[in-house]
Amino acid sequence: MPRKPLPPQLGTAFTISQARRAGASRGRMRAGDLRRPFHGVRVAGDLGSLVSRAKALLPVLPPGSAFSHWTAAQLWHLPLPPGHPSDLQVTLPAGAGRIRRPGVCVHRASRPAVRHRSGLRVVTPEATWCDLAGTLDLADLVILGDAVVSRIDSTETLCQALAAYSGRRGVAAAREALGLVRIGSRSPQETRGRLLFHDWGLPEPELNADILDESGWLANVDFLWRARRVIGEYYGGVHASSWKQDLGRTALLEDAGFRVVVMTGRDFGPGNAQLRARLRRLLTD
Protein backbone atom coordinates (compact mmCIF):
# COMPACT_ATOMS: atom_id res chain seq x y z
CA MET A 1 0.00 0.00 0.00
CA PRO A 2 1.47 3.39 -0.98
CA ARG A 3 2.46 5.67 1.88
CA LYS A 4 0.29 8.69 2.46
CA PRO A 5 2.02 11.87 1.22
CA LEU A 6 3.29 14.23 3.87
CA PRO A 7 1.52 17.56 4.34
CA PRO A 8 3.17 19.90 1.79
CA GLN A 9 3.73 22.68 4.33
CA LEU A 10 6.23 20.56 6.28
CA GLY A 11 9.17 20.86 3.91
CA THR A 12 12.11 18.46 4.02
CA ALA A 13 13.00 18.60 7.74
CA PHE A 14 10.45 18.98 10.53
CA THR A 15 9.71 18.04 14.11
CA ILE A 16 7.22 15.36 15.01
CA SER A 17 5.12 18.04 16.72
CA GLN A 18 5.01 20.11 13.53
CA ALA A 19 3.98 17.06 11.53
CA ARG A 20 1.24 16.13 13.98
CA ARG A 21 -0.15 19.67 13.92
CA ALA A 22 -0.17 19.51 10.12
CA GLY A 23 -2.25 16.33 10.22
CA ALA A 24 0.34 13.55 9.85
CA SER A 25 -0.32 10.45 11.93
CA ARG A 26 2.02 8.87 14.47
CA GLY A 27 2.29 5.86 12.19
CA ARG A 28 3.42 8.07 9.31
CA MET A 29 6.21 9.40 11.55
CA ARG A 30 7.44 5.82 12.03
CA ALA A 31 7.54 5.04 8.30
CA GLY A 32 10.79 3.81 6.81
CA ASP A 33 11.06 6.58 4.21
CA LEU A 34 11.73 9.18 6.92
CA ARG A 35 15.21 9.69 8.39
CA ARG A 36 15.73 10.30 12.11
CA PRO A 37 18.88 12.43 12.44
CA PHE A 38 18.01 13.91 15.85
CA HIS A 39 15.55 13.19 18.62
CA GLY A 40 12.12 14.49 17.64
CA VAL A 41 13.15 15.35 14.06
CA ARG A 42 12.21 13.65 10.81
CA VAL A 43 13.71 14.25 7.36
CA ALA A 44 12.14 13.33 4.04
CA GLY A 45 15.34 13.17 2.04
CA ASP A 46 19.03 12.36 1.99
CA LEU A 47 21.45 13.15 4.83
CA GLY A 48 24.67 12.45 2.97
CA SER A 49 26.03 16.01 2.88
CA LEU A 50 27.01 18.47 5.57
CA VAL A 51 24.41 20.93 4.28
CA SER A 52 21.61 18.36 4.55
CA ARG A 53 22.69 17.40 8.07
CA ALA A 54 22.75 21.05 9.10
CA LYS A 55 19.31 21.68 7.60
CA ALA A 56 17.98 18.68 9.53
CA LEU A 57 18.87 20.49 12.76
CA LEU A 58 17.06 23.71 11.82
CA PRO A 59 13.62 22.70 13.18
CA VAL A 60 14.95 22.52 16.75
CA LEU A 61 17.25 25.57 16.68
CA PRO A 62 16.09 28.76 18.42
CA PRO A 63 15.83 31.97 16.36
CA GLY A 64 19.16 33.72 15.87
CA SER A 65 21.23 30.53 15.86
CA ALA A 66 24.05 30.06 13.35
CA PHE A 67 26.38 27.27 12.36
CA SER A 68 29.89 28.07 13.55
CA HIS A 69 33.42 26.91 14.30
CA TRP A 70 34.44 23.71 12.44
CA THR A 71 31.05 23.40 10.75
CA ALA A 72 31.18 26.97 9.46
CA ALA A 73 34.71 26.47 8.13
CA GLN A 74 33.57 23.42 6.18
CA LEU A 75 30.49 25.20 4.84
CA TRP A 76 32.76 28.02 3.60
CA HIS A 77 35.13 25.39 2.10
CA LEU A 78 38.06 26.66 4.14
CA PRO A 79 41.17 24.48 4.61
CA LEU A 80 41.23 22.53 7.87
CA PRO A 81 43.71 20.03 9.29
CA PRO A 82 42.77 16.34 9.20
CA GLY A 83 40.97 14.89 12.18
CA HIS A 84 38.74 17.87 12.92
CA PRO A 85 35.46 17.19 14.79
CA SER A 86 32.55 15.83 12.78
CA ASP A 87 29.83 17.05 15.18
CA LEU A 88 27.64 19.90 13.98
CA GLN A 89 28.76 23.06 15.75
CA VAL A 90 26.21 25.79 16.31
CA THR A 91 26.29 29.12 18.14
CA LEU A 92 23.12 30.10 19.98
CA PRO A 93 22.24 33.66 20.98
CA ALA A 94 22.62 34.60 24.63
CA GLY A 95 19.53 33.67 26.60
CA ALA A 96 18.37 30.95 24.20
CA GLY A 97 17.25 27.64 25.65
CA ARG A 98 19.40 24.54 25.79
CA ILE A 99 19.83 22.08 22.96
CA ARG A 100 21.04 18.61 23.80
CA ARG A 101 21.37 16.33 20.82
CA PRO A 102 24.01 13.66 20.13
CA GLY A 103 26.34 14.89 17.40
CA VAL A 104 25.72 18.58 18.16
CA CYS A 105 28.18 20.90 19.92
CA VAL A 106 26.68 24.14 21.24
CA HIS A 107 28.43 27.50 21.70
CA ARG A 108 26.99 30.85 22.77
CA ALA A 109 27.61 34.41 21.66
CA SER A 110 25.61 37.62 21.93
CA ARG A 111 25.66 38.74 18.29
CA PRO A 112 27.76 36.54 16.03
CA ALA A 113 28.58 37.95 12.61
CA VAL A 114 26.49 35.88 10.21
CA ARG A 115 25.93 35.46 6.48
CA HIS A 116 23.61 33.11 4.61
CA ARG A 117 25.03 30.16 2.69
CA SER A 118 23.14 27.24 1.15
CA GLY A 119 19.99 28.29 2.98
CA LEU A 120 21.74 28.33 6.37
CA ARG A 121 22.80 31.04 8.78
CA VAL A 122 26.57 30.63 9.01
CA VAL A 123 29.12 32.59 11.04
CA THR A 124 31.28 34.62 8.63
CA PRO A 125 34.68 33.27 7.50
CA GLU A 126 36.59 35.95 9.39
CA ALA A 127 34.64 35.38 12.62
CA THR A 128 35.10 31.62 12.16
CA TRP A 129 38.85 32.23 11.99
CA CYS A 130 38.63 33.96 15.36
CA ASP A 131 36.45 31.17 16.78
CA LEU A 132 39.06 28.55 15.87
CA ALA A 133 42.05 30.56 17.10
CA GLY A 134 42.01 28.82 20.47
CA THR A 135 42.00 25.38 18.85
CA LEU A 136 44.28 25.42 15.80
CA ASP A 137 48.07 25.52 16.01
CA LEU A 138 49.85 28.57 14.60
CA ALA A 139 50.56 27.14 11.15
CA ASP A 140 47.00 25.90 10.61
CA LEU A 141 45.61 29.22 11.86
CA VAL A 142 47.76 31.13 9.37
CA ILE A 143 46.69 28.73 6.60
CA LEU A 144 43.06 29.41 7.48
CA GLY A 145 43.68 33.16 7.62
CA ASP A 146 45.46 33.15 4.25
CA ALA A 147 42.46 31.42 2.70
CA VAL A 148 40.04 33.97 4.17
CA VAL A 149 41.91 37.11 3.12
CA SER A 150 42.92 35.81 -0.32
CA ARG A 151 39.26 35.37 -1.27
CA ILE A 152 38.43 39.01 -0.60
CA ASP A 153 41.88 40.49 -1.33
CA SER A 154 41.92 42.32 2.01
CA THR A 155 43.00 41.77 5.61
CA GLU A 156 40.73 44.51 6.94
CA THR A 157 37.75 42.29 7.78
CA LEU A 158 40.04 39.90 9.65
CA CYS A 159 41.39 42.82 11.70
CA GLN A 160 37.87 44.03 12.45
CA ALA A 161 36.70 40.57 13.48
CA LEU A 162 39.67 40.17 15.81
CA ALA A 163 38.98 43.57 17.41
CA ALA A 164 35.47 42.37 18.25
CA TYR A 165 36.89 39.25 19.97
CA SER A 166 38.88 41.13 22.59
CA GLY A 167 39.12 39.19 25.84
CA ARG A 168 37.98 35.87 24.40
CA ARG A 169 39.82 32.56 24.22
CA GLY A 170 42.42 32.42 21.47
CA VAL A 171 42.85 36.17 20.97
CA ALA A 172 46.60 36.09 21.68
CA ALA A 173 47.09 33.26 19.18
CA ALA A 174 44.99 35.11 16.60
CA ARG A 175 47.06 38.27 17.01
CA GLU A 176 50.26 36.32 16.46
CA ALA A 177 48.81 34.58 13.42
CA LEU A 178 47.42 37.81 11.96
CA GLY A 179 50.95 39.17 11.75
CA LEU A 180 51.83 36.24 9.50
CA VAL A 181 48.70 36.16 7.32
CA ARG A 182 49.23 37.29 3.73
CA ILE A 183 47.02 37.83 0.68
CA GLY A 184 47.82 35.71 -2.35
CA SER A 185 48.37 32.18 -1.08
CA ARG A 186 46.45 29.64 -3.18
CA SER A 187 46.96 26.51 -1.11
CA PRO A 188 47.86 25.30 2.40
CA GLN A 189 51.20 24.02 1.10
CA GLU A 190 52.13 27.44 -0.26
CA THR A 191 51.43 28.92 3.16
CA ARG A 192 53.50 26.21 4.85
CA GLY A 193 56.37 27.01 2.52
CA ARG A 194 56.14 30.72 3.24
CA LEU A 195 56.14 30.06 6.99
CA LEU A 196 59.25 27.90 6.59
CA PHE A 197 61.01 30.72 4.76
CA HIS A 198 60.05 33.04 7.63
CA ASP A 199 61.38 30.60 10.24
CA TRP A 200 64.63 30.29 8.28
CA GLY A 201 65.11 34.06 8.38
CA LEU A 202 64.81 34.47 4.61
CA PRO A 203 63.40 37.56 2.87
CA GLU A 204 59.66 37.40 2.34
CA PRO A 205 58.64 36.46 -1.22
CA GLU A 206 55.85 37.82 -3.36
CA LEU A 207 53.06 35.26 -3.67
CA ASN A 208 51.69 34.10 -7.02
CA ALA A 209 53.44 36.96 -8.75
CA ASP A 210 53.43 37.79 -12.46
CA ILE A 211 56.72 37.81 -14.38
CA LEU A 212 56.97 40.26 -17.27
CA ASP A 213 59.65 41.07 -19.81
CA GLU A 214 59.87 43.48 -22.74
CA SER A 215 57.61 41.24 -24.81
CA GLY A 216 54.90 41.00 -22.15
CA TRP A 217 53.70 38.38 -19.67
CA LEU A 218 55.91 35.34 -19.11
CA ALA A 219 54.44 33.43 -16.19
CA ASN A 220 52.74 33.51 -12.81
CA VAL A 221 54.98 31.92 -10.17
CA ASP A 222 54.32 30.63 -6.66
CA PHE A 223 57.12 32.52 -4.85
CA LEU A 224 59.16 35.41 -6.21
CA TRP A 225 62.15 37.19 -4.70
CA ARG A 226 62.19 39.85 -7.39
CA ALA A 227 65.28 41.77 -6.28
CA ARG A 228 67.37 38.58 -6.32
CA ARG A 229 65.68 37.23 -9.46
CA VAL A 230 64.89 33.98 -7.68
CA ILE A 231 61.68 32.00 -8.21
CA GLY A 232 60.28 29.23 -6.03
CA GLU A 233 57.87 26.79 -7.68
CA TYR A 234 55.87 24.30 -5.63
CA TYR A 235 55.21 21.10 -7.56
CA GLY A 236 52.27 19.26 -6.07
CA GLY A 237 49.97 16.65 -7.57
CA VAL A 238 48.62 19.02 -10.24
CA HIS A 239 52.13 19.82 -11.44
CA ALA A 240 53.10 16.15 -11.63
CA SER A 241 50.56 15.51 -14.39
CA SER A 242 52.12 18.17 -16.64
CA TRP A 243 55.82 17.66 -15.98
CA LYS A 244 56.95 18.38 -19.56
CA GLN A 245 55.05 21.67 -19.56
CA ASP A 246 56.66 22.61 -16.24
CA LEU A 247 60.14 21.87 -17.59
CA GLY A 248 59.49 24.09 -20.58
CA ARG A 249 58.26 26.88 -18.33
CA THR A 250 61.31 26.56 -16.11
CA ALA A 251 63.59 26.84 -19.14
CA LEU A 252 61.72 29.96 -20.30
CA LEU A 253 62.18 31.62 -16.91
CA GLU A 254 65.84 30.68 -16.71
CA ASP A 255 66.39 32.11 -20.19
CA ALA A 256 64.91 35.36 -18.84
CA GLY A 257 67.60 35.46 -16.16
CA PHE A 258 65.81 33.92 -13.17
CA ARG A 259 67.03 31.13 -10.90
CA VAL A 260 64.19 28.63 -10.44
CA VAL A 261 64.03 26.52 -7.27
CA VAL A 262 61.63 23.58 -7.55
CA MET A 263 59.98 22.46 -4.30
CA THR A 264 57.76 19.52 -3.37
CA GLY A 265 55.77 18.59 -0.29
CA ARG A 266 58.78 16.66 1.01
CA ASP A 267 60.78 19.91 1.11
CA PHE A 268 58.25 21.40 3.53
CA GLY A 269 58.64 18.55 6.02
CA PRO A 270 61.59 17.06 7.93
CA GLY A 271 64.78 16.62 5.96
CA ASN A 272 64.63 19.97 4.14
CA ALA A 273 68.23 21.00 4.81
CA GLN A 274 69.13 20.97 1.12
CA LEU A 275 66.34 23.40 0.20
CA ARG A 276 67.18 25.62 3.15
CA ALA A 277 70.86 25.78 2.21
CA ARG A 278 70.13 26.54 -1.44
CA LEU A 279 67.68 29.34 -0.68
CA ARG A 280 70.04 30.87 1.87
CA ARG A 281 72.82 30.85 -0.71
CA LEU A 282 70.65 32.42 -3.42
CA LEU A 283 68.92 35.00 -1.23
CA THR A 284 71.45 36.08 1.38
CA ASP A 285 74.96 35.56 -0.01
Cα separation, 39 vs 35, whole angstroms: 11
Per-residue model confidence as pLDDT tens digits over 103-126: 999 999 888 899 999 999 999 999
**pLDDT on residue 200:** 96
**pLDDT on residue 237:** 62
Per-residue model confidence as pLDDT tens digits over 51-79: 999 999 999 999 999 999 999 999 999 99
Query: 10 and 19 in contact (C-beta within 8 Å)?
Result: yes
- Whole-structure pTM value: 0.91
Amino acid at 133: A
Residues in the chain with pLDDT < 50? 239-240
Query: 116 and 104 in contact (C-beta within 8 Å)?
Result: no
Cα separation, 163 vs 112, whole angstroms: 13
**pLDDT on residue 244:** 62
**Level-2 CATH architecture, domain 188-284:** 3-Layer(aba) Sandwich (3.40)
**pLDDT on residue 98:** 83
**Domain boundaries of the chain, sorted by first residue:** 13-58, 61-180, 188-284
**pLDDT on residue 117:** 98
Amino acid at 185: S
**pLDDT on residue 74:** 98
**DSSP character string of 42-70:** EESS---SHHHHHHHHGGGSPTT-EE-HH
Cα separation, 186 vs 230, whole angstroms: 19
Cα separation, 285 vs 29, whole angstroms: 74
